[in-house]
Structures are given as C-alpha cells and as structure tokens.
Structure 1
Amino acid sequence: MQKYTTCPVCSSKNITFQYMAGTARKPKEPPKWSVNQCEDCSLVFVNPRPTWDELGDYYPSGWQCYNTYVSDEEDVVEEAKKLNEYRHIPIPVGKRLLDVGCGGGSFLQVFKKLGVEVAGVEPSSSAAAAARECGIDVFTGTVEEYVAKNGSNEKFDVILCSHTLGATPFPVETLDCMRQLLAPNGYIWVAVPNADSPYARKLGWRWHSTDYPYNLINYTPKTLGLAGEKAGLVVQRNSTYSLPESLVYSICLWRRYRWFVPHKVTRLLLNDELIERKTKELDSRNEGEAIIMEFCHPGT
C-alpha cells in the first residue's frame, strides 16, 4: 500500500479520513479500503492506495476489460454512421484517435470500421495482445510509460479515456501526458462515474460505480475539471449521461439498502418508459450517472 500525503489533484495537505469502504464487486468482503477526502477541492480517493501488484487478486487471468468485439457490430456501425457519432463521440473520419485504456479494443474496432485511424494504450498485457490480434496498434503499458518511451512527437486529433481515469493514481500526470499527445485543435474525451449524482450521494461506497478498489479516485464535475486545469487543459464541454441499466441498478441498490426491498421486486416496478424519463431528467440537470468532459488546449 502507498500513502498519499497530499491530494492527488490539487496537492493540498488538508486531507481527512471519511470512512472504510467495501469492495463493490465482492459485497460479502468486509470493508477494507480507507477513503479520504480533500477538504479544499472535495476529491474522494482511496488512501493508502493498493499497488498494481496488490490489486492482482482482483483482476482475473486474461482480464480484458473491454472485449475485442461488439455484439451486432454491423448494425452498430450503420447506426453510428446515421447519427455521425458513436458512444457520444462525433466520428473523426480520416483523423487519428488514441484510446487510453482500450482494453481488448472493442471501441477501436468500431471506430476503425467507421474510417478512423486508431491506436490504443493498455496496461493489461492480455487485453493489449487481444486487441493486436484484431489488427489494432496497441502499446502495452500506461500512457505515462508510452510518453516516456516514445516521446510526444506523434499527435492525435482525439484522445479517449473512457472510465479509466478513476483507476490512475496520479490523474494530473495522466492528463498531462494526454495533453502532450494532443494535436492542435484536437480534444481529449473523458468519461468517469459521477460521484455527485443523486444515488452516488445516497449510497456512498455501496453505489455500484464507486467500484473500490478498481477505482482509486471518484470524481465530481468540479474535481474532474480541476484535474484537467492542473494538467494545462481547459474544459470545452461538460455533460452527464445515464445508461438506463445503470440507473436501474442504482435505484435497486438504494431500495435494498434503505428499505430492504429485493432487487427483483424493485425491477418489476420500473418500466422502460419511467427509466427513460428519469435518465433524461437527470442528464438535463447534469446530475446523471456518468460525467462526459472534453478538454482542449488553451486558446483552441
């Protein structure tokens, strides 16, 4: 375990213990993760944090995160062409796209078929190997290791970081490396769970997307924007999105822990029309289950 003595975003020494958290994916395991909060910027993070070696037991052999395929890929590609976007990202046809934390490369497979020049960075050797077997150019390691080895002369028009930044122990350094790789007039697209969403606030560490210890840090729009600012970037777009299945799970968790209502009972009461309306309401107020934030170079 390695201890933070300062906040990993704002570098304040004013950090305090909040609570002991359990492992989200192992609910029967007793609480074992010490969670701190920065009293200056409000960032919430595991402290001390486990090392990569200590996290080994939580990742199965051959772990890929994102698989190497998307079900009904042809239909997905055709739908993306009609909308001119995929997973909330405008399709940068003919441009260069880097996926930081690409897993087995499923995002990149789709973007490649949409006419985008793609590459990935992935610390899991098994996931990186699986992506390369599908013809994707992937560097095995972190983006910091990529820059240290290859420098930053190679530029990318779009850099994705989808639900990866929460697992990086030093987010400002991670974003700074992305900034170094970003082409002029390009942008960095980051998605993370929204720790300021209503059910995140109600459930605390029990919220499914808190996901300790796979996530070491949980962000609000304020703290994510601050991390980008500290890395020399500016926010050009900030929004939230709520996958229906994610919101359903949050509601089920809340009712189970608050009123002991079984998951199956709650699910029967939640029809698709109701969930669609609730997701739209949350996202209209930027209070959805996940944050989408785009960063660019100052002055772009």
Structure 2
Amino acid sequence: MISCPSCGSSVSEDKFLRQHFSDIVKVEYKLYHCRSCDLEFWVPLVFIKSIYENEIIEEYSLWHQGEELILSDNHTTFINYLSHQNLIPPKKILDVGCGSGSFIKYLEKMGFEVWGIDIDSKSINVAKNKLYLKNVYNFSIDEFLDYAIQNNLKFDIITFFEVLEHQSDPVKFLNKISKLLADGGVIAGSVPNRDRLFAEFTRKINTKSDYDFPPHHFLWFSKKSLKFLLDKVGFEPEIFPVRVEKYMSAERILRYLETIGMKFGKYNFLKSLILLILRPVSFVIRSVYNISGGLGIMFVGRLKV
C-alpha cells in the first residue's frame, strides 16, 4: 500500500493513474489519486535539489542570468489582495522559494521588511548582486528554521508561491512554516491548478523540461485537496483563482513557441508581425482561462485560534 502524503490514507500500489519516466534523473514515477482528500501525488516522493540549478527548465536559466525579473500573475494577485486587507507596511515578510527576488524587491519598495530563502544558489546570487537584497539566503526551510530560532525571528507574512507542489512531505513543510509565523500572522501562496484548461495538452507538448512532472512537481492539487491540506495543518484558508495576465502575454507565447522548436531567427520585422497577430489571440486565451478558473490556485490563511 502507498500512503497519501497529505492525509495518510492508504492507496493500493497497483491503482496508479499513469506512469512517467524522467529523462532528467532516469527514474520511473507513478501517479496516485487519494479518494479521501482528492490529492494526486507521484511516487517515489524523493526530493532532488540538484535539478533546480541544472537549467533544464527555461525559467531557471533566465533567473540565473538575471532575466525575467518581473512579477508573475500570482504575485500581482497577492499584491491586489494586500491592498484590500490590513496588511500594510511596516510588516516583516518571508518569501520561501524567492528565486531571484523580484517579488520581495517590489515589496521592499512598498515599505515591507523583506526576507527570502531559496535552495537555488544561483538565483540567490542574482537577488544579492543584481537586486541588492540583503536578507536572502541559500537555505532550505529546515536550515532557515534553525537560523530563525537562533535569532528569535518571526514573520507577519510568509509567502510560498509555486512551492507546495514541489514538496515530498507537505505536512512537515507547513508545520515548519507555522513555527515561523508571528501571532496573528498570515500565509499566502499558490499552486498549479491540476484541473486547469488544456492541462493535458500543455503537458504533452512541453516535453523538453517535463515542468509539471516529477522530480519537479510531485503533488497535483485541486481546490478541494489544497483546502483539506491547509485545514489539516491548522490554517483557516481562503481559496481563490489566480488571474491570468502576464503568463499568456503575446511575448510569452512567442517565447514558448521558440522553446518547442519553432524558429523565427533574428528578424525583428517578422517577430513584430507575429506579436501583432498573437496579441488578440493572447487576449482571448487569457479570458477563457480566467472564466474557467485560472491556471493556478491562490490561498491565504491564518492559524486557527
């Protein structure tokens, strides 16, 4: 029997949904569905740190070069949330999985005291040397928790965008997050929506990096399974969709077409013409995604009293 990493329920080992062989680590994975909490998870659940610095995934390569230093859709969704809540500076914020630091740099300019950690040392170097962020560390959550205890650190807000789906033990991860929260503190983050429109299509055509598969993504969340997990660990979560804006921009679509093999060369006129055609297409795609529930699922919550 296989144990669900969220609720602990048993799943029959031969009742897997699909298989996936990773060319990155030469391991075959099996996908299981837990009927108790609705989580889909891949086995073996073995976290491999090295894949985050090997640049097989395009976004990591761009972060290491100091490019793509822009806010993503989940970041802007959270900032819009901040503006409607009593979460105004000065507050101490920790971003777990901060990457090259563009999000916390923006928050720093808003007046927040920002901290960030990431297991990718190359991204942390960009955060320090290009964005001049001070409190950013190449730490795992375990290492930073030890550091925080030694230095009596607590945080008013802890964010972890597109991080939870990478965890081999999400309950343990969230318990450590809760230990870093100040009284009345808030968590916020996002995960990919496994039920998003065209999910299976994009998984099939994006074979270069296997972005949505292990050893990168171990957990596939629905709104139900995400809410269950957060509630189990002791949070009162608010769940809502991430609006699609920048992710499906014409420029991102063009770059994506190039990554899957379409060549446009260095002809600026041709690229400008293609972008002109793609802009109305981009608007329609974004509108359809937003109507259908978005690409990602956002969560915000406080610990239960």
- Decide whether aligned partners of structure 1 residues 71 and 140 sit closer, same or farther in structure 2, where only a CA change above 3 A counts: closer
The offset of 1:187, in angstroms, is 0.9
Structure 1 counterpart of 2:106: 110
| Unpaired stretches in structure 2, ≥5 consecutive residues | 254-261, 265-273
- In the superposition, the TM-score normalised over structure 1's length comes to 0.73
The offset of 1:31, in angstroms, is 9.3
Question: Identity over the aligned pairs, expressed in percent?
Answer: 21
- Decide whether aligned partners of structure 1 residues 52 and 272 sit closer, same or farther in structure 2, where only a CA change above 3 A counts: closer
The offset of 1:230, in angstroms, is 2.2
Structure of greater relative contact order (alpha carbons < 8 Å, 6+ residues apart):
2
Picking from 289, 292, 298, the partner of 2:298 is 292
Indicate yes or no: 2:10 matched with 1:13: yes
Structure 2 counterpart of 1:166: 165
Using the TM superposition, name which of 52-61 and 166-175 deviates more. Answer: 52-61
C-alpha distance in 2, partners of 1:59/1:199?
Answer: 25
Alignment of 1:40-79 (within 5 A): 40-52=36-48, 55=51, 59=55, 66=63
- Decide whether aligned partners of structure 1 residues 131 and 276 sit closer, same or farther in structure 2, where only a CA change above 3 A counts: closer
C-alpha distance in 2, partners of 1:103/1:135?
Answer: 12
- Decide whether aligned partners of structure 1 residues 72 and 21 sit closer, same or farther in structure 2, where only a CA change above 3 A counts: closer
Indicate yes or no: 2:118 matched with 1:119: no
Indicate yes or no: 2:135 matched with 1:129: no
Q: Deviations over 1:47-98 (max 9, x none)?
A: 013442674785469x57756967797xx8xxx9xx9973754473211110
Q: Deviations over 1:134-158 (max 9, x none)?
A: 2331232221332134328421111
C-alpha distance in 1, partners of 2:281/2:105?
Answer: 33
Structure 1 counterpart of 2:242: 241
Q: Any conservation in 1 of the 2:92–2:112 contact (CA below 8 Å)?
A: yes
SS at match of 2:16: strand
- In the superposition, the TM-score normalised over structure 2's length comes to 0.72
- Decide whether aligned partners of structure 1 residues 85 and 122 sit closer, same or farther in structure 2, where only a CA change above 3 A counts: closer
Structure 1 counterpart of 2:191: 192
C-alpha distance in 1, partners of 2:10/2:134?
Answer: 42
- Decide whether aligned partners of structure 1 residues 65 and 146 sit closer, same or farther in structure 2, where only a CA change above 3 A counts: farther
Picking from 226, 229, 232, the partner of 1:230 is 232
SS at match of 2:10: coil
- Decide whether aligned partners of structure 1 residues 136 and 288 sit closer, same or farther in structure 2, where only a CA change above 3 A counts: same
SS at match of 1:198: coil
Structure 2 counterpart of 1:277: 287
How many residues matched?
268
C-alpha distance in 2, partners of 1:195/1:180?
Answer: 29
Give the superposed CA RMSD: 4.1
- Decide whether aligned partners of structure 1 residues 43 and 84 sit closer, same or farther in structure 2, where only a CA change above 3 A counts: closer
The offset of 1:125, in angstroms, is 2.1
SS at match of 2:17: strand
Q: Any conservation in 2 of the 1:34–1:48 contact (CA below 8 Å)?
A: yes
C-alpha distance in 1, partners of 2:54/2:68?
Answer: 26
SS at match of 1:214: coil
C-alpha distance in 2, partners of 1:141/1:147?
Answer: 9
Structure 2 counterpart of 1:101: 97
- Decide whether aligned partners of structure 1 residues 65 and 111 sit closer, same or farther in structure 2, where only a CA change above 3 A counts: farther
C-alpha distance in 2, partners of 1:58/1:68?
Answer: 13
Q: Any conservation in 1 of the 2:97–2:117 contact (CA below 8 Å)?
A: yes
SS at match of 2:194: coil
Structure 2 counterpart of 1:258: none
Q: Any conservation in 2 of the 1:122–1:142 contact (CA below 8 Å)?
A: yes
- Decide whether aligned partners of structure 1 residues 51 and 230 sit closer, same or farther in structure 2, where only a CA change above 3 A counts: same
- Decide whether aligned partners of structure 1 residues 187 and 217 sit closer, same or farther in structure 2, where only a CA change above 3 A counts: same
C-alpha distance in 2, partners of 1:30/1:72?
Answer: 32
